[in-house]
Amino acid sequence: MIEKCPVYYIGVDIGSVSTKLVVLNESKSIVSGLCLPTAGNPSRALETGLLKIQSDIESSREIGAVCVTGSGRKLAGELLGADIVKNEITCQAVSAISLEPKVQTIIEIGGQDSKLIVIRNRLVVDFGMNTVCAAGTGSFLDHQALRLGLSLDEMSALAEKSQNPVTINATCTVFAESDMITHQQTGSGVEDVVYGLCKALVANFRRSVVQSRPIVSPAVFQGGVAFNMGIRRAFQEELGINLIVPERPELTGAIGAALLGMAEKPPGKSCFKGFSCISVK
C-alpha cells in the first residue's frame, strides 16, 4: 500500500513593512510560520521566507494550494504562481472566524495600516481603515520606542505598570513626540508616558477607523501590535469589552490566506512554481 504524502497549504501576506508566510496541514494546524521585514525588497523577503518554510516541512510534501494577500499580493502572486489572490479584509476575517466562529468585531493593527472589520453571521458587513497617516499603527509605536530607547517588549511591560497615564495627542507623530517630550521634561514616569501613548493610539483608532461603527463581542484583536499588552489594556478600557488574541496574531492574514487556499482552490495540481522560484541577486 502506497502511503499518501502530506498535503500542505501556503498562505502569504506581504505588506510594505513585513512579509508573513504560513504553512498549514490538512488539519489546519500551523506547520511553519514566520514574519520577516519586507525592507523595501519584497522579492528578497519572499525568497528568504520560502527557503525557511521549506526547511521546516517534510521532504515528501505536496503543496495543495498557495494563496497570497497584502498590499504586495499581485507581485507575490506572479512570482510564486499563486492559485488564489485575496484582499486583506477577507483573509483577516477568515482567520478570525476560524478562531472564534461567533466573532462580531475584528481589530487588526499592522505596521502601516489599521482596520476594523464588522462581522455578522460569519460574513463581512462593514469595515474601516486608517487614512494615509501612520499615527495609529505599529510603525508609530516602533518609532516612539526607538526614541525612548526601549524595545517593544519593554514598552509593553512598562505600560502595564502605569497608574497615572499622561495625555498625548496622537493625531500625528509630530504632535505625539512634542507631548511626550513635554511630559518627560516635567517629570512624568516613563511607564505613564508609554501607557499614555498606548491610550492615544487607541483613541486615534476609535476616532479615525471605528467612527460610528458598533464594537460588539466577541471581538478578536489581530496583527503584530496585538502582542503589546499596553495596547490590549487600552483597548479593553476604551471599549469596555474583552479581546480575544490569537496565539500568533502577526500571522493572521497569512493564516486566513492559507485557509482560503484550502477551501477555494479548484481541483487539480497547484500552480505553485516551487520553493526555488525566486532568486534575487
The predicted-structure confidence for 103-127, as pLDDT tens digits, reads as follows 999 999 988 789 999 999 999 999 9
The proportion of the chain whose per-residue pLDDT surpasses 70, expressed as a percent, equals: 94
pLDDT value of residue 59: 67
Of 180, 38, 204, whose CA–CA distance to 131 is shortest? 204
pLDDT value of residue 266: 86
Domains of the chain: 7-90+253-264 (3.30.420.40), 99-250 (3.30.420.40)
HSE-CB at 185 with a 13 A cutoff on CA atoms is 6
pLDDT value of residue 256: 98
pLDDT value of residue 1: 46
Alpha helix segments (H runs only) across the chain: 42-56, 73-80, 88-99, 138-148, 152-161, 173-185, 190-205, 229-239, 252-264
C-alpha 201/C-alpha 186 separation (Å) is 22
pLDDT value of residue 155: 92
The answer to whether the beta carbons of residues 136 and 143 sit under 8 Å apart is no
C-alpha cell at position 80: 510564486
Beta-carbon contacts of 110 under 8 Å, excluding residues fewer than 6 positions away, are 15, 17, 18, 137, 138, 223, 224, 225, 253
C-alpha cell at position 196: 499614555
pLDDT value of residue 168: 87
Left, alpha or beta for 276 (phi > 0: left; psi -120 to 50: alpha)?
alpha
The stretches in the chain having pLDDT less than 50 are 1
C-alpha cell at position 8: 500542505
The predicted-structure confidence for 185-231, as pLDDT tens digits, reads as follows 887 889 999 999 999 889 888 888 999 998 999 999 999 999 999 99
What is the value of pTM for the model shown?
Answer: 0.92
